[in-house]
Structure formats: structure tokens, C-alpha cells
Amino acid sequence: MTKRTVRRIIKILILAAILFGIVAGIRACVAPSKENTPEITYSDIYDGFTTVPEPVLLCKAAVLMDYDTGAVLYTKNPDEIIPPASMTKLMTTYLLMEKIRSGELDMDQEVVVPPEADFERAPYRSSLMYIRAGQRIKVRDLLTGLMVTSGNDAAMAVAILVGGSRDACVEMMNQKARQLGFESFVFTDPAGYEASNQVNALEFCQFCRIYIQNFIDYLDVLTGAVDFRMGSRVINNSNDLLGRYPGVDGLKTGYIDESGYNISLTAERDGMRLVAVIMGIKAKDIMNAKLFRMEEGASLLSYGFHTFKSFLPVLPAPVSAPVFGCTADTVPVAIQGSEHLCLPYSQLYKLSWDITFTKGLKGAIAAGTPVGSCTVSLDGSPLAIYPLVAEEGTVRGSLWRRFTGSIKAMGQKPESLKFSLAFPR
């Protein structure tokens, strides 16, 4: 072997070593060794949703609730008694809306403003709609003036319209609170101007949920407008999250010195609606207070939307029930029910579905016919039971299929009617 050949071999070996080192380095960067890489499970993936921190709020009290289930998702001093201020007007509006729903009053009906509701007779530092005694005004506009502009003059006009007098309306407000089961509520005026009005954040949030349940079709009229025009005046809604935070369409703000700044909120995103109440925000001036109220409201809603999921359960995979005496041997089924569940995203992978079919399903079965039940459980603990129904109808089979089907149905074993499904992985 010549010296030239030896040198060539050495060069080739050096070049091969360099190339091998480059490839190994790339592999080390792209794909770490299994020994140093822990196996990723679905719990790791879904627990990642819990990175949204629970908000730290400056307010005195707060509650966040899922609208569909009533599940309480966040609380801070939920039982502390605080004056609701102008959030009181939600109860005043509730009474008026009941009369509209019953047909006693109509949205487009005109009413005359009584002398007691003239804006010049409103208490000092009142928010106003600026209505005059003797003025004719539609009920719709009166409601908007009450809820959007938060007019204390409008509150007096509504109180007299609903109850005949201010005091009679206040009594009706307290009766309605007791009827709905709210023990902390005490109302002493229809506008919330007085510090003697009392609620706590938890019960007021529950009341807001009931309010929405009853009048959700009127939210755009009652609380969703960004501003209201009265003559030459344009008055902005004091709920500054309207039009700024996606999905917000209510409800009401409030302020008196004794309570601080309050707000009740509702927002809907991707089929999930939240209800929130924040009370007792203090600040050195009105601009800072409004800013804090916006920040805390947005923070609380964002926590709810990013941490929890409210949903109607569906089967995680196609499921069919056995049927006999039909042209087909099975029929596809689905969960039927209106009971929502609300869970943290981090818990969804722990869901399971326990299926039980009705024994001996025979003959023609119409779509929507109950064919069994489904128990939805979280980590083995039942959450709710839903009926299973046929998604489509079945066609009765031939005489022979009906005969053999009857025999098979009688011999159906109980264990063949039950099985479980886990969260898809």
C-alpha cells in the first residue's frame, strides 16, 4: 500500500467521523433520548389548562357563577353584607318585566311621568335620565333610562308605575326577594341611593342568574346598549366592558360612598355564559375606580372562560343498541337531556360514560324512543344520569327475523347490556 493510498484512507475516515458527529448532533437537538424524556400522558396535556391563575381582586367581595349549572367558580367574601347601590335597579326592573310578561303593561305603551319622578326632585348626586313631570314616555324608553343611564328619576317613575307608590314598590321588592329565597336582601328605595339597601355578593349573583333566565330575550334592550339618547342628550352606559370585552351584554353598575364601586356582569362565549358580581371597589378618584372595575371584571370573566367548560355531555364515540326483529341488528343512540355540566378543563380527561341498554328491544322503534341510560362520572363518582334515545327509527323485519329475534331477546344476558366508555385518548 502506497503512502498516497494511506493518506486517502485517513482523509476518508476523518471526513466520515465529522459527518457522523454532525448527524448525531442534529438528532440530539431534534429528538432527545428516551432515557431523558418522560412519557407524556393525557393528564399532563389537560392539566396544562390550569395555568390560568385564580385572580387576585382588590374588591371587597366577588362571586363568579356558571349560568347553565349555577356552579360557583370563584368567591371572595361572598356573604359580606354590602349596599348594592344602583344594582338595586335590577330588582325594580324585575318587577316591571314581570308585568310586561304577564300582559299588564306593554313595551310600546306610553305612560305619563308622575311629579315625584321629575329629575329635579331626584336626590343630590343622582345619575339621571332627565325626565319631566307630565312627560309622555314609552315603557321601553323608561326601562332603558333605568338600566342604561341608571336614572334615579326613571327608578321613581317605574316604582310608581309598578306599585302605585314608592313605598308600595319597595315592599314588593322585598316580597319578591323573600319569594326567591334571598335572606340577605333588604331594600329601602327603588334606586339604590340609600346605604340601608343590603345584599351579599353570593345571593345577588344568584339573583342575576334568575333575572337572566327570566328575561334573557330582553338583555339587548335592558342592559346591552352602549348608550341612550334622550332628546339632545346622549348618555353612555356606565358598564365600560360593553363593546370592549367580547361577549359582555349586561348587567348593571352601582356606586354610593358607603359601598364603593359595584358591578354585576354577564357574558357569553362559545355557548358558555358566566355571571359575575363584584362589590366594594375603592379608589382615590372616579377614573381609577372605573379602571379598577373594568380590570377586575375582565380578570374574573377571563378566569372563568379559560379555566372551566360548561357543556351538555355527548357520547365520546358512536354507540349502538342491540335490537331484535328488525331489518338491522342495532340502532345508533345518543344522549338526551338538558342538564349541563361545568368542570375545569383539567378534569375533563377523568370523565367516563357508563352505558346501560334496555333489555329486549324489539320491533319497529321510532327515532327518539328511550333505549337505555348513560351515567356520566368524574373519576368514578357519578355526576348525572341521562336517557339514551334512538337516533333513527328501525324497520320491522320479516316474520322469520321477528321469530328468531324474540328468542334471542329472551336469551339476552344482563352483562351484554352494560359497558363503559372512557375519555378519548
Select from 23, 147, 52 the least CA-distant residue to 96.
147
Q: What one-character DSSP code corresponds to residue 257?
A: T
Residue 150 known to be catalytic:
yes
Task: Give pLDDT, residue 23.
Answer: 40
Catalytic-labelled residue, pool 76, 89, 290, 309: 89
pLDDT tens per residue, range 369-397: 999 999 999 998 999 999 999 998 777 76
What is the C-alpha R_g of the chain? 32
Catalytic-labelled residue, pool 60, 126, 127, 150: 150
C-alpha cell, 93? 326592573
Residue 406 known to be catalytic:
no
pLDDT tens per residue, range 230-278: 666 777 778 889 889 999 998 999 999 999 999 999 999 999 999 999 9
Task: Give pLDDT, residue 37.
Answer: 29
C-alpha cell, 6? 494511506
* Number of Cβ atoms within 10 Å of the Cβ of 366: 10
User: Which comes out higher in pLDDT, residue 158 or 130?
Assistant: 158
The rounded mean pLDDT for the chain is 84
Catalytic-labelled residue, pool 76, 86, 126, 346: 86
pLDDT at 311 exceeding the cut of 60: yes
Strand pairing category for 248-256 and 233-236? unpaired
CATH annotation of 61-307:
3.40.710.10
Separation between Cα atoms, residue 286 and residue 290, nearest integer Å: 6
User: Which comes out higher in pLDDT, residue 218 or 198?
Assistant: 198
% residues pLDDT > 70 (the chain) = 80
% residues pLDDT > 90 (the chain) = 56
3-state SS class at 324 = strand
Strand pairing category for 351-357 and 418-422? antiparallel
Between 155-164, 267-276, 409-418, the lowest mean confidence (pLDDT) is in: 409-418
The CATH number of domain 320-422, selected from 1.10.540.10, 2.60.410.10, 2.40.37.10, 1.10.940.10: 2.60.410.10
pLDDT tens per residue, range 12-24: 555 554 444 434 4
pLDDT at 170 exceeding the cut of 60: yes
Burial zone of 27 (CB within 10 Å; 0-12 exposed, 13-18 middle, 19+ buried): exposed
List, in sequence order, the alpha helices (H) in 71-180: 89-102, 139-147, 152-163, 166-179
- Domain ranges within the chain, ordered by starting residue: 3-34, 61-307, 320-422
pLDDT tens per residue, range 61-97: 999 999 999 999 999 999 999 999 999 999 999 999 9
Task: Give pLDDT, residue 16.
Answer: 53
Residue 99 known to be catalytic:
no
Select from 273, 271, 262, 270 the least CA-distant residue to 238.
262
| Averaged pLDDT, 313-324 | 87
| Averaged pLDDT, 328-344 | 90
